[in-house]
């Protein structure tokens, strides 16, 4: 299937072999659908290990699996967030499939209104799509299950998931339609979905985001076309209807049940209210789906514009006064003039087709096509006003009724797109959701128009990745005790760097619990060791190992204590036991272990008198031993190591000579590289062989 | 230094007075809440009046009188003209609450503190936000971000988060932790370690009784109804009543009762209409049922909405439940109904919230309740007989004087302006002084002749006697004929906006017809009051349905939020003191309880500076993940970037040794099952110590409960004899921490 979309350059699945250094800063955007086409919107985006998927639609012209976006290009399990802009099939219909049939385990968000209508529209889609059971992408159960996984958000509400921040703006287009702004580590991406910058009867115009995004993924359905002003379209619409019915004709408006249909109903209802002479002419809308969705429209008034909200103050404008629902053609009493709005919009079948066939031969009647129609449907055919049409039963009938095409589809036209982009000024623009030639023309025109702002316009095909690099500066805030004094250049700062999402803070360990939910802990250990010998013996033995062994007496109990290396405290609890306590950290743990070993040794063997000279000798011995070890190690590293004059070691590597002074660690060599290597090696050997320096001092 | 924060209470500290606080952040003054009580006592607003002009923004948190009641008055009288922010439902329900307050006052008194127009204009410049919307202030408040968050309690109730430079100031009053029928619980707990938390102590001493209360509520109602009595629930206009309505609806549906329920306020039908469209602000269960079955919970099946008392009086006799405003019983329908019903033993008055201090409701909630109460019954009656005549004469006299004065002025004006040219362009000068005079008052005994003629226009000064205005429609001509103004022929984009125009200019909200008629009613009327003593024989019950977090959950939440500094407001002196002591011990060492008009400085004494983390440094840092956080130890050298920022570079010399740090939060309760899963016998010994195996014990010492700024890191002690188990357990203990 992947081959259908041209040549996928590199599969996104191969994430385990990323370009090494800059992987974190690479932003990838890949259209999995709607790249140089209209339908199955789905855009993949990943940045800094976070992955977002925008929309999840199907292609209305295909069926079954081939209608899906190219999901096999990605690994669904790594997607953090899936954002759905609106309820149209080409933006939301593959969601049940994606949620239920793939490994996706991220979170899904859409607006309240979208979620409420999504269920109705998809249930209806499942019912009407006449495909075989094995071709079904999902069933009603899948839709119901998906409802539980979908989370809702309100416009402007900021949500943060895994460090991905996002919020949405009103997009116009249909009820609940949103444009998503995603912010990952300060890089902002705006995905418009379908949007319209023109306010209409019930919807607000798309908002202009407050912040300019770094990348704008924008629809290009109408390319460089321009719309007629709304009031002219409305006037044409109402005039056609008024003329037709006053001549005794019938008007058929084939329209998709949801979205624009509500706008047309509002226009009609208002026109009827203003023209009392029409009150005896019935208006019907024949869609059970639209009827079901009316409650949603009556509820989510807040997502609509001021105008409708003001009307709401007196009565709900979606409680139409002059429009009645129509369930089926049997209930339709077809006497005299009437206006009927029926679905589907393309006159493919169903009620709109039945009425069309009944009315098409009478020239008094009219058919108003109110929106974008897909190639291959009867609606598209009759726009060119042929003389005859083929009926569903195969007969040919004359087409005498008038056909008008008045577009009310709420997509941005060129004027809206270019103003929107000019005000937003994104440095990168990615065009999606448009036929490739429309998109191409739009790109050319935008390039000339935005020539002086150095804008990068890209029109990727499906599965073609756009890669960008963002050099994001990481800023950290140093707070608390650590920040009491602002350091000068050259000074050092040491502390704990705490990262949450994409914010960094540096703080002192003691402040950890103040500024974060984390907290530091101290573990005090107390251990009792059976020992019945004299306390002084331990002290003596310890003094041989540790530089600092302090004798004290416990103030409360008067018990003899001693403190080893300023870390571990020993206490003679009783005749038979000593106790030892210290605060955990790696070095103290080690010291305590050695003390334990020592004490156990003393208890096992009888204390023996030790000759001091012997001890001295053993020190010398160990010194010699150490020297041997150093020599051996150096040989293993450099090969040719000889003892030279005045105690220096001569090291030869590939003709270069280095002289190492064993006492001071100084190295002399003409070759800088070798000198550095020998010095480092010697330092490391030293720290391995020689006793640990006493840092606590 | 951190952001400067000052808090000055203007009303509502150490008592239960309405809430109003001034919070200034880096010189930007927020007025948070602007409340008033049911007595509408202007003296309470004294402190507000002094600072009103300096306020830069107003934030409203809830829609009831206690939180926004004084807004119309302050806007009108104190010149408070700052932008106001609230959530959509808080704005709408607040507007309706104020309408209801005004209308119920107006009915019984010459209420003149504010008018409906004042309410409208006060609510007109409210910016409405959604939950979690980060709103960036501009201008003087540049850099400040405000965001409302869900508070519970009332629809649209808000916890305000004000952020500047990464420091949060949180204002949270009257929040509810529990999820209710129509609302979710607050999200306050999701904020951790804000710089300042301003919160109330209102409920600090109250502990909610267990859930069986719900049964008492329902039982007492149904018992009263079965015995033939009426139930009165004094409620607020548009807040808690929504929850009660849902409870009653559910109960009625469950038990298929058919006693009528009435919801009686001046704005009840618009309240429910609006509430139906606020689903996205409600709890999960409501949204869910709407999404799946499109059942709007507020399509009420059992509750009848009434907007005036006569409808209730006309209702069929028999037991019924009435929810009527105001909750304080001081005014409104609840007052009248109480007076009517109190003397009947069978009836029940059920309070669902604590009455405001000094109100009738509070008196009745006393234990034991008073046997009789004195109330003032007031009624607005139309004037009649002599009074009416006297009133009309007075009005006429006033009107005559005014018109005379006006016409004199007009004459002078028109002489001045129209003297030289006779071309009177504007013949329809509306005499504004007369516009409000009642038109139905006509005095037949002379004097009116001139008045009526003049009403609506002023005769040209040059005319001898009054005459209808005459104007020539002169048109200009040029070489091509009459000059045309192209504007007259433009098809205006008006068609669709017509409807909007009709509503736009008018009231912002919608009033019920009854209410509107009352408002527009200019018929002369007066208020008649009489005092009477009501024998309280009906049963009185008080059950807590306030939907506020109770003392226990307040303390839990505060301990969880653990602010760096805490300001306590709104609550009786005892409650405030109690909570203060509790918080000092368990939450944080900086607890403030300011007095009215006392400004306290809660600027955090935090030091902070910003540095850039250079690429070189970050490539060497290995993060370790700990819950939501990732941490690493850094040693770095300070350098400068090209644009003068400080940046951290990798250190060039040997890194200094640092004391090792154990990071992690040991929870004994979680550690125990972990140890047992490793095959070690564990049990809790006394004093929170954990006994592992036979000999080893682990315990936490120091103040484990307090997370606040004062305490240090947690102290854990592990004790035991030298044995294998000891080291094994120590290793497990270490595994709970991350060593730096």
What percentage of chain B exceeds 70 in pLDDT? Answer: 82
A86 is catalytic: no
Q: What is the pLDDT of residues A433-467, one digit of tens each?
A: 988 888 999 999 999 988 888 889 999 999 999 99
If pLDDT is split at 50, 70 and 90, which confidence band does B210 have? low
Mean pLDDT of A338-349: 84
Higher pLDDT, B129 or A493: B129
Highest mean pLDDT among A257-261, B106-110, B179-183, B677-681: B179-183
In this structure, chain B runs to a length of 740
Residues on chain A touching B722 (C-beta within 8 angstroms): 527-530, 596
If pLDDT is split at 50, 70 and 90, which confidence band does B705 have? very low
The residues in A 153-182 lying below 8 A from B, measured between CB atoms, are 154-159, 167
From CA A583, how far away is CA A522, in angstroms rounded?
A: 7
For B131, name the nearest residue in chain A, comparing CA atoms only: A157
* Positions of E strands within A55-106: 81-83
Neighbours of B256 (CB within 10 A): 7
Give chain B's mean pLDDT: 81
Q: What is the pLDDT of residues B119-162, one digit of tens each?
A: 999 998 899 999 999 999 988 888 899 999 999 999 999 999 99
Mean pLDDT of B560-570: 90
From CA B189, how far away is CA B549, in angstroms rounded?
A: 12
Mean pLDDT of B657-683: 79
Q: What is the pLDDT of residues A33-49, one digit of tens each?
A: 999 988 899 999 999 88
Give pLDDT, residue A209: 92
Higher pLDDT, A407 or A613: A407
Whether the per-residue pLDDT at B1 is higher than 60: the answer is: no
Element of type H or E holding B696: strand B696-701
Residues on chain A touching B638 (C-beta within 8 angstroms): 487-493
Task: Describe the crossing of helices B332-341 and B88-108 by its angle, rounded to 10 degrees.
Answer: 50
- Asked if the Cβ–Cβ distance from A307 to B497 is below 8 Å, we say yes
Task: Describe the crossing of helices A140-149 and B284-293 by its angle, rounded to 10 degrees.
Answer: 160
For B588, name the nearest residue in chain A, comparing CA atoms only: A514
Give pLDDT, residue B174: 93
A598 near B CB under 8 A: no
If pLDDT is split at 50, 70 and 90, which confidence band does B506 have? very low
Q: Does residue B368 have a cis bond before it (omega within 30 degrees)?
A: yes
Which residue, B388, B500, B515, is CA-closest to B99?
B515
Mean pLDDT of B591-598: 92
Residues on chain A touching B710 (C-beta within 8 angstroms): none
From CA A415, how far away is CA A413, in angstroms rounded?
A: 6
Whether the per-residue pLDDT at A339 is higher than 50: the answer is: yes
A543 near B CB under 8 A: no
From CA A366, how far away is CA A95, in angstroms rounded?
A: 38
* Residue A287 Cα, gap to closest chain B Cα (Å): 17
- Asked if the Cβ–Cβ distance from B719 to A480 is below 8 Å, we say no
What percentage of chain A exceeds 70 in pLDDT? Answer: 92
Contact by Cβ (8 Å): A189, A214: yes
* Residue A696 Cα, gap to closest chain B Cα (Å): 10
Q: Which residues contact B20 (CB under 8 A, 6 or more apart)?
A: B9, B10, B11, B12, B31, B32, B33, B34, B35, B45, B47, B48, B70
Q: Which residues pair with B196 in a beta bridge?
A: B169, B565
- Asked if the Cβ–Cβ distance from A519 to B664 is below 8 Å, we say yes
Q: Does residue A344 have a cis bond before it (omega within 30 degrees)?
A: yes
From CA B330, how far away is CA B38, in angstroms rounded?
A: 7
The residues in A 74-93 lying below 8 A from B, measured between CB atoms, are none
Contact by Cβ (8 Å): A582, B730: no
Q: What is the pLDDT of residues A242-269, one digit of tens each?
A: 999 999 999 999 987 788 888 899 999 9
Give pLDDT, residue B3: 78
Mean pLDDT of B638-654: 77
Contact by Cβ (8 Å): A61, A374: yes
Plot region of B284 (φ>0 → left; ψ -120 to 50 → alpha; else → beta): alpha
Give pLDDT, residue A131: 63
If pLDDT is split at 50, 70 and 90, which confidence band does B406 have? confident
Residues on chain A touching B509 (C-beta within 8 angstroms): 313
Element of type H or E holding B269: helix B268-276
From CA B474, how far away is CA A521, in angstroms rounded?
A: 94
CA A267 to chain centre: 39
- Asked if the Cβ–Cβ distance from B279 to A493 is below 8 Å, we say no
For B493, name the nearest residue in chain A, comparing CA atoms only: A231
What 3-state class would DSSP assign to B148?
strand
A212-222: buried (b, 16+ CB within 10 Å) or exposed (e) per residue? ebbbbbbbbbb
- Asked if the Cβ–Cβ distance from B715 to A489 is below 8 Å, we say no
Give pLDDT, residue B252: 92
Contact by Cβ (8 Å): B132, B147: yes
- Asked if the Cβ–Cβ distance from B510 to A235 is below 8 Å, we say no
Least confident of A111-120, A156-165, A640-649, B265-274: A640-649
Contact by Cβ (8 Å): B199, B226: no
Give pLDDT, residue B438: 42
Give pLDDT, residue A51: 94
Whether the per-residue pLDDT at B641 is higher than 60: the answer is: yes
**Active-site residue, from A202, A227, A411, A433:** A411
If pLDDT is split at 50, 70 and 90, which confidence band does B24 have? very high
The residues in A 303-322 lying below 8 A from B, measured between CB atoms, are 306-307, 310-314, 316
From CA A690, how far away is CA B49, in angstroms rounded?
A: 78
Q: What is the pLDDT of residues A124-148, one digit of tens each?
A: 888 877 666 667 888 889 999 999 9
CA B171 to chain centre: 12
Whether the per-residue pLDDT at A695 is higher than 60: the answer is: no
Q: Given the DSSP bridges, would you call strands B690-692 and B696-701 parallel, antiparallel or unpaired?
A: antiparallel
Q: What is the pLDDT of residues A589-629, one digit of tens each?
A: 888 888 888 888 887 766 555 555 555 556 677 777 777 88
**Phi/psi at A419 (5° precision):** -65, -40
If pLDDT is split at 50, 70 and 90, which confidence band does A676 have? confident
For B191, name the nearest residue in chain A, comparing CA atoms only: A517
From CA B369, how far away is CA A133, in angstroms rounded?
A: 71
The residues in A 93-122 lying below 8 A from B, measured between CB atoms, are 112, 115-116, 119
Give pLDDT, residue B531: 85
Q: What is the pLDDT of residues A188-241, one digit of tens each?
A: 999 999 999 988 888 999 999 988 999 999 999 888 988 888 889 999 999 999
Which residue, A153, A134, A16, is CA-closest to A82?
A153
Q: Which residues pair with A494 in a beta bridge?
A: B635
Helices (H) and strands (E) in chain A, counts: 17, 34
Element of type H or E holding B528: strand B525-535
- Asked if the Cβ–Cβ distance from B612 to A475 is below 8 Å, we say yes
- Asked if the Cβ–Cβ distance from B636 to A493 is below 8 Å, we say yes
Give pLDDT, residue A586: 82
Least confident of A510-514, B188-192, B723-727: A510-514
| SS3 of chain B: helix, strand, coil, percent, to 5 | 35, 25, 45
If pLDDT is split at 50, 70 and 90, which confidence band does B4 have? confident
Tokens of A673: 């590289």
Give pLDDT, residue B419: 42
From CA A193, how far away is CA A411, in angstroms rounded?
A: 10
Nearest-CB residue to B88 (from A231, A292, A302): A302
Higher pLDDT, B485 or B31: B31
Residues on chain B touching A318 (C-beta within 8 angstroms): none
Residues on chain A touching B730 (C-beta within 8 angstroms): 525
B713 near A CB under 8 A: yes
B294 near A CB under 8 A: yes
Task: Describe the crossing of helices A586-604 and A535-545 by its angle, rounded to 10 degrees.
Answer: 130
The residues in B 601-660 lying below 8 A from A, measured between CB atoms, are 606-613, 618, 621, 623, 626-640, 646, 648, 651, 655-660
């Amino acid at each position: 299937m992947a081959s259908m979309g041209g040549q996928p350059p590199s599969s996104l699945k191969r994430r385990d072999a990323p370009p090494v250094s800059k992987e974190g800063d690479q932003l990838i955007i890949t259209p999995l659908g709607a790249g140089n086409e209209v339908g199955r919107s789905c855009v993949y985006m990943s940045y800094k290990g976070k992955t977002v998927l925008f929309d999840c639609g199907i292609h209305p012209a295909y069926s079954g699996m081939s209608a899906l976006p190219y999901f096999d290009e990605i690994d669904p399990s790594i997607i953090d967030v899936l954002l759905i802009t609106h309820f149209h099939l080409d933006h939301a219909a593959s969601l049940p499939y994606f949620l239920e049939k793939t490994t996706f385990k991220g979170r899904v968000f859409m607006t309240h209104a979208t979620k409420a209508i999504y269920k109705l529209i998809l249930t209806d889609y499942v019912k009407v799509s006449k495909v075989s059971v094995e071709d079904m992408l999902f069933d009603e159960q899948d839709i119901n299950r998906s409802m539980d996984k979908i989370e809702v958000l309100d416009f402007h509400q900021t949500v943060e998931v895994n460090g991905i921040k996002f919020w949405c703006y009103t997009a116009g287009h249909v009820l609940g339609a949103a444009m998503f702004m995603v912010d990952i580590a300060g890089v902002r991406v705006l995905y418009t979905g379908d949007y319209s910058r023109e306010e209409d009867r019930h919807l607000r115009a798309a908002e202009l985001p407050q912040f300019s995004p770094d990348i704008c993924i924008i629809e290009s359905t109408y390319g460089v076309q321009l719309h007629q002003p709304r009031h002219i379209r409305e006037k044409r619409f109402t005039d056609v209807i008024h003329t037709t019915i006053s001549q005794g004709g019938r008007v058929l408006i084939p329209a998709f049940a949801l979205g624009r249909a509500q706008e047309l109903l509002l226009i009609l209802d208002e026109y009827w209210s203003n023209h009392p002479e029409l009150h005896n002419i019935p208006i019907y809308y024949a869609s059970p789906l639209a009827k079901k969705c009316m409650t949603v429209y009556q509820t989510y008034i807040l997502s609509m514009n001021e105008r409708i909200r003001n009307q709401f103050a007196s009565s709900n404008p979606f409680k139409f006064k002059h429009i009645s629902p129509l369930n089926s053609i049997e209930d339709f009493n077809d006497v005299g003039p009437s206006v009927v709005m029926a679905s589907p919009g393309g006159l493919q079948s169903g009620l709109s087709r039945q009425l069309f066939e009944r009315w098409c031969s009478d020239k008094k009647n009219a058919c108003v096509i109110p929106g974008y129609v897909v190639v291959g449907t009867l609606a598209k055919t009759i726009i060119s006003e042929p003389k005859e049409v083929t009926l569903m039963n195969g007969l040919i009938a004359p087409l005498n009724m008038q056909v008008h095409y008045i577009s009310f589809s709420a997509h941005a036209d060129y004027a809206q797109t270019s103003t929107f982009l000019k005000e937003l000024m994104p440095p990168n623009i990615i065009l999606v959701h448009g036929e490739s030639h429309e998109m191409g023309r739009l790109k050319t025109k935008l390039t000339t128009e935005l020539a002086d702002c150095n804008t990068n316009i890209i029109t990727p095909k499906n599965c073609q990745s756009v890669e960008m690099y963002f050099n994001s500066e990481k800023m950290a805030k140093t707070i608390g005790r650590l920040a009491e004094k602002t350091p000068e250049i050259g000074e050092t700062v040491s502390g704990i760097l705490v990262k949450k999402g994409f914010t960094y803070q540096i703080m002192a360990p003691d402040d950890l619990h103040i500024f974060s939910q984390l907290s530091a802990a101290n573990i005090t250990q107390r251990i009792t060791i059976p020992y019945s010998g004299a306390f002084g013996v331990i002290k003596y033995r310890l003094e041989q190992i540790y530089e600092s062994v302090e004798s004290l007496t416990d103030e409360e109990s008067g018990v003899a204590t001693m403190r080893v290396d300023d870390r571990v405290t020993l206490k003679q609890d009783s005749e038979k036991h000593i106790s030892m306590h210290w605060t955990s950290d790696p070095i103290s743990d080690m010291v305590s272990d050695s003390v334990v070993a020592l004490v156990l040794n003393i208890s096992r063997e009888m204390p023996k008198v030790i000759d001091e000279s012997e001890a001295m000798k053993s020190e010398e011995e160990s010194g010699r031993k150490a020297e041997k070890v150093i020599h051996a190690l150096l040989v293993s590293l450099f090969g040719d190591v000889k003892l030279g004059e005045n105690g220096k070691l001569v090291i030869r590597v590939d003709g270069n000579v280095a002289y190492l002074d064993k006492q001071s660690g100084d190295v002399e060599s003409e070759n800088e590289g070798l000198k550095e290597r020998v010095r480092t090696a010697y330092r490391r050997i030293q720290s391995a062989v020689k006793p640990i320096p006493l840092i606590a001092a | 230094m951190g952001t400067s924060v000052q808090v000055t209470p203007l009303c509502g500290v150490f008592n239960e007075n309405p809430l109003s606080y001034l919070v200034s952040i880096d010189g930007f003054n927020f007025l948070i809440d602007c409340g008033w009580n049911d007595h509408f006592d202007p003296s309470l607003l004294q402190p507000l009046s002094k600072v009103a002009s300096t306020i830069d923004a107003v934030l409203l948190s809830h829609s009831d009188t206690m939180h926004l009641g004084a807004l119309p008055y302050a806007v009108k009288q104190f010149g408070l003209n700052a932008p106001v922010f609230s959530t959509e439902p808080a704005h709408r329900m607040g507007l309706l609450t104020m309408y209801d307050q005004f209308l119920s006052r107006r009915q019984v008194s010459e209420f003149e503190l504010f008018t409906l127009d004042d309410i409208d204009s006060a609510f007109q410049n409210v910016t409405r936000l959604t939950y979690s919307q980060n709103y960036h202030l501009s201008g003087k408040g540049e850099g400040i971000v405000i965001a409302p968050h869900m508070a519970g309690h009332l629809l649209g109730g808000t916890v305000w988060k004000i952020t500047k430079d990464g420091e949060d100031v949180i204002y949270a009053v009257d929040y509810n932790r529990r999820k209710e029928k129509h609302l979710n619980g607050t999200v306050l707990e999701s904020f951790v370690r804000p710089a300042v938390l301003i919160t109330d102590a209102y409920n600090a001493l109250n502990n909610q009784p267990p859930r069986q209360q719900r049964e008492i509520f329902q039982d007492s109602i149904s018992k009263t109804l079965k015995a033939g009595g009426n139930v009165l629930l004094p409620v607020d206009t548009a807040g808690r009543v929504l929850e009660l309505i849902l409870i009653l609806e559910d109960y009625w549906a469950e038990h298929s009762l058919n006693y009528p329920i009435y919801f009686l306020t001046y704005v009840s039908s618009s309240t429910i209409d609006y509430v139906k469209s606020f689903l996205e602000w409600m709890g999960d269960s409501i949204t869910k049922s709407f999404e799946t079955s499109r059942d709007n919970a507020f399509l009420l099946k059992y509750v009848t909405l009434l907007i005036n008392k006569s409808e209730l009086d006309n209702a069929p006799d028999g037991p019924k439940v009435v929810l009527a405003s105001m909750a304080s019983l001081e005014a409104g329908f609840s007052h009248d109904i109480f007076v009517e019903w109190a003397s009947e033993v069978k009836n029940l008055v059920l309070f669902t919230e604590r009455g405001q201090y000094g109100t009738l409701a509070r008196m009745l909630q006393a234990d034991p309740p008073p046997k009789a109460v004195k109330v003032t019954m007031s009624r607005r009656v139309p004037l009649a007989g002599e009074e009416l005549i006297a009133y009309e004469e007075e009005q006429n006299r006033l009107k005559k004087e005014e018109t005379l004065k006006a016409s004199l002025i007009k004459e002078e004006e028109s002489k001045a302006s129209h003297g030289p040219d006779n071309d009177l362009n504007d013949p329809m000068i509306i005499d504004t002084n007369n516009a409000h005079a009642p038109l139905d008052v006509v005095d037949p005994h002379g004097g009116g002749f001139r008045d009526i003629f003049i009403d609506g226009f002023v005769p040209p000064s040059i005319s001898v006697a009054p005459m209808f205005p005459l104007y020539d429609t002169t048109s200009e001509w040029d070489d091509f004929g009459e000059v045309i103004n192209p504007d007259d022929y433009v098809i205006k984009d008006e068609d669709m906006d017509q409807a909007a125009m009709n509503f736009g200019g008018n009231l912002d909200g919608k009033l019920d017809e009854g209410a509107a008629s009352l408002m527009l009613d200019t018929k002369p009327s007066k208020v008649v009051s009489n005092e009477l003593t009501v024998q309280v024989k009906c049963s009185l019950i008080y059950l807590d349905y306030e939907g506020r977090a109770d003392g226990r959950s307040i303390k839990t939440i505060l301990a969880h939020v653990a602010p760096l500094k805490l300001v306590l407001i709104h609550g009786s002196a005892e409650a405030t003191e109690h909570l203060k002591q509790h918080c000092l011990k368990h939450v944080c060492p900086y607890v403030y309880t300011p007095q009215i008009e006392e400004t306290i400085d809660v600027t955090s004494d935090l030091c902070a500076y910003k540095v850039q983390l250079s690429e070189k440094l970050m490539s060497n840092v290995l993060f370790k993940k700990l819950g939501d956080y990732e941490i690493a130890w850094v040693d770095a050298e300070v350098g400068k970037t090209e644009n003068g920022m400080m940046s951290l570079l990798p250190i060039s010399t040997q890194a200094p040794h640092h004391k090792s740090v154990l990071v992690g939060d040991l929870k004994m309760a979680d550690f125990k099952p972990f140890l047992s899963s490793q095959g070690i016998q564990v049990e809790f010994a006394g004093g929170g110590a954990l006994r592992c195996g036979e000999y080893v014990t682990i315990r936490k010492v120091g103040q484990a409960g307090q997370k606040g700024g004062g305490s240090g890191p947690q102290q854990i002690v592990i004790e035991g004899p030298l044995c294998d188990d000891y080291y094994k357990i120590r290793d497990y203990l270490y595994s709970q921490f991350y060593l730096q």
